[in-house]
Each structure stands twice: as C-alpha cells, then as structure tokens.
Chains A and B, each alone.
Chain A
Amino acid sequence: MNLLTRRLATFPLVLIGVSSLVFFAIRLVPGDAITAMLGTEAGLLTDAQRAALQAYFGLDKPWIVQYGHWFWGLLRGDMGISVTYGKPVLTVILQRFPLTLELALLSMVIALLIGVPAGVFAATRNERAADLAVRIGAMIGQSTPSFVFGLLIIYVLSAGFGVLPVMGTFTPIWQDPLANLGQLILPAITLGAAFAASVTRIARSAMLDVLGEDYVRTARSRGAPARTVIWRHALPNALIPVVTLSGIEFGYLLGGAVIVEQIFALPGLGRMVLDAILQRDYALVQGAVLFVAFNFMIVNLLVDLAYFWLDPRIRAGGQ
C-alpha cells in the first residue's frame, strides 16, 4: 500500500477518534450539563424539572447511546444548539468562518511573498553578510510571539503616528473590499511575520540543498545564466518543503488565531471557541473543536497530495 492510500484509509479512523475524543473529553468537565447550561438558574429547578430536561436533551441515556445519537446527528450536519447564541452550532461556526479563512489566506500570501524571496536571496549568498542578516532576522521573527508583535504594531501606530487600527468590527469582503482589507491587514501582518520567518528558514535550507545537486551543477556548467538556474531549475524543487510547511501553518491558522483575534478584537473562529469555553457553551465548543480538527486534517491531507504531486520520486517509488 503506498503512502497516499494509507493516508486515505486512516482518515475516517482518525476522524472517528477525534470525534470520540472531543465528545468524551467534554463529558469529563466537572458538573452536569444542565447546570453548565443554565448557570445559577439551575439551582431553581425541581428534581422533576431537572429529570425532564435531562430526558429532553437525551442526557439520561448511557454515554454510548448519547455518542451514537450525536454522531448520527454529525453525519447529517446537526451539531446541536448553542446555548449562548440560541442558534444551531453549525450556523454560528459558519458565520465566523469567512473571517478566519480570509485572515489565514492573507497571512499565507504575506508569508510567501516575504519568505520565499528572502530564503532564495540568503541561499545564493551563503555564509556572507547578507545571508547572516536574513538568518538573524528570521530567527528573531520566529522567536517573537504574535501577541508581542501585534501589540508592538498597535503601539508604534498609536504612539508614533497617532492612528489606532480599526478594531472590533468586520465587514465581509463582498460588501466593502477596502474596509475589509483595512480591518484585516494588521492582524494578517502580525500572523504573517512569524510565518514568513519559518518560510524563510525552510526556503533557504531547501535551496541550499538543491543548489548542491548534480543537475543544478550541470545546468551551470552548460552556461545557463545564474538567474535561470536559480528560478527555473532550483526553485521548483526547493519549493516542496515550503509547500509542506505552508500547508501545515495554514491548517493551524484555519483553527482561528485565538490570540491575534483577541488583540485586534476580531470576531473570528478562534475567539468564538475561547468565549464558548469561558461561557461553558459545550455544544459550541464540541462542534467548533471538531470543525477545526476536521479542517486541519483535510488541509494536511491536501498537503500530502501536493507533496505526492510535486515530487515525482515519491510518485514513482510509492514511499
């Protein structure tokens, strides 16, 4: 069985594992679900009322039956009702998702636009001052947490230029693209900076490996101009690890950049999960965590597919 078939075969297994983990983990939360849902008002319930509510939500049945019920609901796209929003969980998630998706895409574009050229530039000047400068920059970028960098951006803008970034609102791109960009550009730069640093490091090291390969040396010895050798011959192969890294990082970002959304007060998926946890909205936590894990797995699978497609050696060898 080759790598791809194996990945595809284990995908449903892992998904069942993830959904069970989420389901049973949520049931480990101290206190019963009715109290968690009603908060202090739960104290006012009579025993009969509590029993009726438990029967209504199916909580009086054994866990395994509840799990079967929940899983069957999942297959039909029914994740239950969010207590805080009073709407179906999936509706709430899908309302928040466009922002998260756009932010992830924008950050990736920024990271690739900075990281790939910087990595190539450093690799072609290996061990010289320019290479060292890029490497130091990338190392610092990778070590700076997004919340430190985000706050720094806000501080520099407000103290240095007297401008405060637009915060707290979100205009969908199809309503007003400019306003949308204005709201998302700073968070995207914040997320893109550390991402760019990782891309730079991996692009540089991949490029160095490729530049040492025989076929690149052959191209050079046949008199191909340096520019052609770098961009046409070396870069496409050096991009393979960059694709893998970007895919994984993108998958992470699809889970919502909790902290950056918090700093810039953006109503994205990450902040929704955080709020749901703080407000003990378990149906929403359960649904959102599963949604994010599912996206993450899909992106990872796509990365594997891309890897398979980009590297003929894997395709031919089956490993």
Chain B
Amino acid sequence: MIRAIFHHPSGRIGGGIVLVYLVLAGLGALGLTPHDPLMQYRLDRLHPPGAAYWLGTDLFGRDIASRLMVGIGQSFFVAFLSVAAAASVGTVLGLTAAWVGRLWDGVVMRSMDVLLAFPAILLALLIVAIMGPGTWTSVLAIAFVYMPIFTRVVRGPALSLKTREFVDAARTFGSSTRYILTRHLLLNIVAPLTVQVTLALAWALLTEAGLSFLGLGTQPPAPSLGLMLSDSRNLMETAPWLMIAPGVTIMIGILGFNLLGDALRDILDPKTRGGRA
C-alpha cells in the first residue's frame, strides 16, 4: 500500500508533505523548536526572517518558526481527533443503519439529513455558541460536521454487501452479527473509507484554521495557525512574513492531504479519474 502511494506522483508529493508536517509537529510537541514558542524577545520585535529567527518574529518578539511548529501540532491534533471521532461514530451508525434497517435506518438517516441541512461552518458556529470557544469545541464541532458524510459513505456499500452470498453463507454458518459487521462488511468498505478519511482531514484542517482565524478555536497565547494569520492582518505591510508564513503553512498542509486523498482514490478505485464534488 505504502509502496503504491509512493509510486503515484500525487501520492509521493502529498505523502511527503504530510510526513514532513508530522515530523515538525512531533519536534514541536517534544519542545525541540529553535526558540521557546511563548518566549517574548522584546528587543527583537517584528524581526524580519534571517539566521537568528528563520521566519522572523511577531509583534511580541515571539519566534514565528517555533510557533508554526507547535501550531501545526495543534491543527493536526484537532484534525486527526475530530476525523477519528466522525469516522468511528459515522461508521457505526452507517453499518447498523444498513444492517438493522427499518425504523433504526430511518431514524439515523433522517437525523443525518437534518445535520446535512446546515452549511458546515454554520453548524460548527452553532456548536461553538453552545460550548464556548476552545480546542475541544473545535474537535467536537468538526466531528459533528463530518459524521453524516461518513454515515452515508458507509451505509450505501453496506446495504449492497448485506445481500451478497458470502454474508448469507456466514449467517448460515452461525457467525455472530458483530463478526459479520466487522469482518465481512467493514473490511470491504475500508477502501472508500480510507479515501474519505484523508479528504476529510484536509477539510478538517481548513475548518480548524477557519475557526481559530475567527477567534473561536484554540485560544491565545497557545500558537495556532489560524490565529497567527488573523493577527497578521494589521501588520501586513510592515511585516508581511507574519501573514505569509502561517498562510503558506496552512495551504501546503491542506494540499498534502488533498493530494494524498486523490492518490488513494486512484489506487483503491481505478475507475475514477481524479475529479471530486
């Protein structure tokens, strides 16, 4: 699988980007940053990028490169956790809806229709309004937004797999429902699920950055990519690096997951040709 990704041009670039970001986030989490991300070097405020500060410093004299490393970790934490939650809950709902059918299927799918009736950012804003801004709110909000998509992605194929002979055979041989659901249904849906997870990670990164840009995600002084970008607005002309560094970091991160998702789709489903709604 990994070999296939690295043989695919988009997979190579996307996978490489994600790997580099993971390493940077890991170094940031271990405290192995060039400077302390919260330390204010008062004499070096708005220092342009150079040898001392690779990407310059902000208004408080904090090192941008170090803050970016920790910020990437923060964004990845929110993105991975929220997509993991959305994918697991969505998969359970989709599988059980397809398997049980009838009333449960109706209840689950109509509830997902209700959630899908909200534009994503609005649903996220509503959840932020209820829970107050913060990192965990972002996780929950993004998980809620993407859960219906996973439910749909799983339910469709599960419905058609349910009627296949090998499932009937397993039932006849007395396999438990849990065994059939996990071994026979879930394993056969892993391919579309993996593609969806990768693409959802790109959207989760975007939503996280958007929420923190609006001041509703990670709260200061903790570094966050969206907040750094938002803070750069008033100093754009005097210190453009404040805007360019987090902006490009967010963009390349999303690009990485999008490329990886495209590659996975090409590898796992050769029928499609790289276009997505």
**A18 in contact (CB, < 8 A):** yes
In the complex, the answer to whether A244 meets B277 with C-beta atoms within 8 Å is: yes
**At the interface, yes or no: A144 with Cβ under 8 Å from chain B?**
yes
User: Does any Cβ of A come within 8 Å of B19's Cβ?
Assistant: no
- Cβ-closest chain B residue relative to A145: B206
Interface string of A120-161 (1 = CB under 8 A from B): 000000000000000100011011110110011011001100
Docked complex Cα distance between A13 and B111 (Å) = 10
| A145→B210 contact, CB < 8 A | yes
With beta carbons under 8 angstroms apart, the residue of A22, A152, A285 that contacts B247 is A152
Contact B251 A144 (CB under 8 A): yes
| B113:A17 contact, CB within 8 angstroms | yes
Tell me if B130 is interfacial: C-beta within 8 Å of chain A.
yes
Q: Which residues of B contact A28 (CB under 8 A)?
A: 130
Chain B positions 230-277 with a Cβ under 8 Å from a chain A Cβ: 230, 232-233, 236-237, 240, 243, 247-248, 250-252, 254-255, 258-259, 262, 272-277
Q: Is B128 positioned at the interface, with any CB of A under 8 Å from its CB?
A: yes
Provide the A230-262 mask, 1 if CB < 8 A to any CB of B, else 0.
000000000001001100100110111011001
Contact flag A289-B274 (CB < 8 Å), given A14-B110, A155-B240, A158-B236: no
**Is B119 in contact with A139, judged by CB distance below 8 angstroms?**
no
Given A158-B237, A258-B125: A18 touches B118 (CB 8 Å cut-off)? yes
CA–CA, A259 to B132, complex, Å?
18
**Is B59 interfacial (CB-CB < 8 Å)?**
no
| Size range of the chain A interface in the assembly | 35 or more
Q: Mark A25-43, 1 if CB is under 8 A from B, else 0.
A: 1101110000000000000
In the complex, are the beta carbons of A202 and B126 less than 8 A apart?
Answer: no
* Chain A residues within an 8 Å CB radius of B243: 151-152, 155
Residue of A nearest to B248 (CB): A148
CB pair B120–A252 under 8 Å, yes or no, is yes
Contacts of A224 in B (CB 8 A): none
Indicate if the CB atoms of A145 and B254 lie closer than 8 Å.
yes
Q: What residue of chain B has the Cβ atom nearest to residue A205's Cβ?
A: B275
The main secondary structure of chain B at its interface with chain A is: helix
Q: Mark B78-119, 1 if CB is under 8 A from A, else 0.
A: 000000000000000000000000000000001101110111
One digit per residue, 1 when the CB lies within 8 angstroms of any chain A CB and 0 when it does not, for chain B 187-231 equals 000000000000000100010011001100000000000100110
Contacts of A140 in B (CB 8 A): 251, 255
Q: Mark A96-130, 1 if CB is under 8 A from B, else 0.
A: 00000000000000000000000000000000000
Does A10 interact with chain B (Cβ within 8 Å)?
Answer: yes
A159→B115 CA distance, assembly (Å)? 43
Q: Is the CB of A296 within 8 A of B114?
A: no
Selected from A135, A254, A277, A300, the residue in CB contact (under 8 A) with B274 is A135
Which residues of the partner chain A approach B114 to less than 8 Å between Cβ atoms? 14, 17-18, 21
Interface residues of A in 157-207 (CB under 8 A from B): 158-159, 198, 201-202, 204-206
Say yes or no: is B32 at the interface (Cβ < 8 Å to chain A).
Answer: no
In the complex formed, the residue of A with least CB distance to B252 is A143
A270: chain B residues at CB < 8 Å are 121
- Let me know if B130 and A273 touch, CB within 8 A: no
Whether B122 sits at the interface, judged by CB under 8 Å, is yes
Decide yes or no whether B129 CB sits under 8 A from chain A: yes
Q: How far is the CA of A296 from the CA of B125 in the complex (A)?
A: 16
Query: Quick check: A143 and B258 within 8 Å, CB to CB?
Result: yes
- Residue A74 at the chain B interface, CB threshold 8 Å: no
Evaluate contact between A293 and B117: CB separation under 8 angstroms.
Answer: yes
Q: Let me know if B232 and A151 touch, CB within 8 A.
A: yes
Chain A, residue nearest B119 (CB): A255
The docked-state distance in angstroms from the alpha carbon of A306 to that of B213 is 36
**A292 within 8 Å of B (CB atoms):** yes
Q: Nearest chain-B residue to A245 (Cβ)?
A: B277
A13 pairs with B110, CB closer than 8 A: yes
A297 at the interface (CB under 8 A from B): yes
Residue from B117, B202, B252, B276 whose CB has the most chain A CB atoms within 10 Å = B117
Question: Does A208 touch B at the CB level, under 8 Å?
Answer: yes
Does A305 touch B at the CB level, under 8 Å?
no
Name the B residues within 8 Å of A142 (CB-CB). 258
Q: Are B118 and A296 in contact (CB under 8 A)?
A: yes
Judge whether B122 and A292 touch: CB under 8 Å.
yes
Q: Which of B119, B210, B275 contacts A259 (CB 8 A)?
A: B210
B113, B202, B232: the one within 8 Å of A143 (CB): B202
Q: Can you add 9 more A-B contacts, CB < 8 Å, to A151-B243, A245-B277, A262-B214?
A: A142-B258, A143-B254, A145-B206, A151-B229, A152-B243, A159-B236, A159-B240, A205-B274, A273-B122
Residues of A within 8 A of B (CB): 10, 13-15, 17-18, 21-22, 25-26, 28-30, 135, 139-140, 142-145, 147-148, 151-152, 154-155, 158-159, 198, 201-202, 204-206, 208-209, 241, 244-245, 248, 251-252, 254-256, 258-259, 262-263, 270, 273-274, 277, 285, 289, 292-293, 296-297, 300
Q: What are 5 A-B pairs at a CB distance below 8 A? A: A143-B258, A204-B275, A245-B277, A258-B214, A289-B122
Name the 5 nearest CB pairs between A and B, nearest first: A205-B275, A255-B119, A17-B114, A143-B255, A148-B247
